[in-house]
């Protein structure tokens, strides 16, 4: 095999492994020229929670605030700078705001109180304000409860992973391998009463405190960082481009913690909203999706992201279940990129067909939308 053919084959293999979007906004390393919403896979879950609170007729009846959520991992990098974010409290405030179900104190930093005009405010101690240097807002400004806690653990692990197919390795007489980085973050959160300093309980006498851990897998490629959704058993990956995996991991764990704690506080069925934006929860495939396994959900994402119009992609789930999927139209709806698609399934020699519409969300995954949005 000539050197030229080898180089071409390597290039094709790498593109196959990492996936190459046919849409420039996801491929370009430079700025896309527009601002997108900073969301996580739990942002829609918080909006769902707000709807449940409103349905229970409890919306906007209490005033909430956010205290300190500090990085207590003790890890530093370069010039003694903290390894993780110092804005976890701000993320928690945004998470509470996404529920759109309660009144909120607008600041998370006691130093910001110097911007307020408290002259003439009944019951506020100006001497107390002068002594404040770094404290919990909830115990200073009037609120019914405040959220506080800490980032308690952070670890980075490199996980070796072989990429590519045996076919390519035999063809090139070599192997493509590399490392995924696994980021693990633990956080402890609680809801505290501002007058007593005690952890609050709900009507079921459950202490409103929680400890969570979040692990995300990332892979660097061509100067960019990608989050990997993987089905290791089937060798199927789908990756979405991200900017800062550490901040993303913190935002996700903050939003999941707020979802659980606020759901328990209001005693609503928050579990109904616990549907993170992962390939399995994007509602793609219609009735055919009832037969999907995890690898099939990931494959559907890959087809929408990488496949050209009217080009069918076929794959097998098993000897008796086969799929074929074809993107049939591409269009933009406001700032979102959307595609019509058709998917066919043959199961035990019976055929099923579904036609749908999906749009790429800010977090990088494709999600089903109403067919009426198609143009």
Share of the chain above pLDDT 90, in %: 42
Give the HSE-up count for residue 39: Cα atoms under 13 Å, Cβ half-sphere: 18
Rounded to whole angstroms, what are the CA distances from 53 to 8, 203, 270? 57, 15, 9
What pLDDT band is residue 58 in, cutting at 50, 70 and 90? very high
- In this structure, is the dihedral angle defined by the CA atoms of residues 63, 253, 148 and 68, taken in order, positive or negative? negative
Q: HEC states along 175-220?
A: CEEEEEEEEEEEEEEEEECCCCCCECECCCCCECEEEEEEEEEEEE
Q: For the segment 170-224, what is each residue's pLDDT rounded down to a tens digit?
A: 333 333 344 678 889 999 999 999 888 899 999 999 999 999 999 888 877 666 7
Tokens of 282: 């994007």
> Which pLDDT band, with edges at 50, 70 and 90, does 273 fall under?
very high
pLDDT at residue 13 in the model: 46
User: Which tokens sit at 42?
Assistant: 């739990």
Determine the average pLDDT of the residues in 68-88.
Answer: 77
Answer yes or no: is pLDDT of 349 > 80: yes
Give the C-alpha distances (Å, rounded to integers) separating 364 from 89, 152, 185: 25, 29, 22
Please state, in angstroms and rounded to a whole number, the distance separating the CA atoms of residues 329 and 35.
25
Average pLDDT on 24-43 reads 60
- Residue 299 confidence (pLDDT) above 50: yes
**pLDDT for position 85:** 78
pLDDT of residue 355: 94
Q: Domains of the chain (ranges plus CATH)?
A: 41-273 (3.40.50.10610), 279-373 (no CATH)
Q: Decide if pLDDT at 313 tops 90.
A: yes
Residue 340: pLDDT over 80: yes
Written as six digits, the tokens of 177 are 């391998």
Torsion-angle region of 60 (φ positive above 0: left; ψ -120 to 50: alpha; else: beta): left
Confidence of residue 304 (pLDDT cuts 50, 70, 90): very high
What are the tens digits of pLDDT across the range 121-135?
A: 445 554 554 444 445
CA distance 371 to 357: 6
- The pLDDT assigned to 159 comes to 59
Segment 141-162 shows an average pLDDT of 80
The whole-number pLDDT of residue 232 equals 52
Strand order across the beta sheet in which 236-242 lies? 103-104, 63-71, 145-163, 176-192, 209-221, 224-231, 236-242
pLDDT score recorded for residue 115: 52
What is d(CA 138, CA 288) in angstroms, rounded to the nearest whole number? 49
Strand partners, 71: 151
Task: Calculate mean pLDDT across residues 323-348.
Answer: 92
- At residue 98, the pLDDT reads 96
């Amino acid at each position: 095999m000539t050197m030229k053919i080898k180089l071409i084959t390597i290039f094709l293999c790498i593109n196959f492994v990492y996936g190459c979007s046919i849409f420039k906004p996801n491929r370009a390393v430079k700025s896309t020229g527009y601002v997108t919403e900073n969301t996580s896979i739990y942002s829609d879950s918080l909006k769902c929670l707000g709807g449940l609170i409103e349905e229970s007729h409890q919306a906007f009846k209490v005033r909430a605030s956010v205290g300190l959520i500090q990085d207590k991992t003790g890890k530093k990098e370069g010039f003694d700078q903290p390894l993780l974010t110092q804005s976890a409290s701000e993320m928690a405030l945004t998470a509470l705001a996404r529920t759109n179900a309660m009144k909120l104190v607008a600041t998370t930093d006691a130093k910001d109180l110097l911007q307020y005009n408290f002259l003439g405010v009944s019951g506020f101690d100006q001497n107390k304000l002068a002594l404040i240097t770094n404290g919990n807002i909830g115990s200073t400004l009037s609120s019914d409860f405040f959220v506080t806690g800490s980032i308690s653990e952070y670890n980075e692990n490199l996980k070796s992973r072989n990429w590519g197919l045996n076919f390519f390795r035999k063809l090139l007489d070599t192997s493509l391998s590399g490392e995924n980085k696994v980021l693990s973050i633990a956080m402890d959160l609680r809801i505290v009463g501002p007058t007593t300093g005690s952890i609050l309980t709900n009507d079921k006498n459950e202490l409103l405190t929680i400890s969570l851990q979040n692990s995300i897998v990332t892979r660097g490629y061509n100067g960019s960082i990608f989050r990997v959704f993987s089905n290791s058993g089937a060798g199927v990956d789908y990756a979405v481009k991200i900017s800062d995996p550490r901040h993303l991991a913190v935002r996700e764990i903050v939003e999941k913690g707020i979802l659980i704690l606020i759901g328990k506080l209001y005693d609503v069925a928050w579990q109904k909203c616990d549907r993170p934006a992962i390939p399995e929860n994007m509602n793609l495939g219609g009735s055919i999706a009832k037969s999907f396994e995890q690898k099939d959900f990931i494959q559907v994402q890959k087809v929408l992201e990488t496949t050209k119009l009217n080009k069918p992609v076929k794959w097998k789930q098993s000897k008796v279940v086969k799929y074929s999927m074809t993107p049939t139209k591409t269009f933009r709806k406001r700032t979102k990129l959307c595609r019509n698609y058709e998917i066919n399934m043959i199961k035990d020699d019976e055929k099923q067909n579904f036609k749908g519409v999906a749009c790429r969300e800010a977090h990088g995954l494709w999600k089903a939308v109403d067919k009426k949005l198609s143009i």
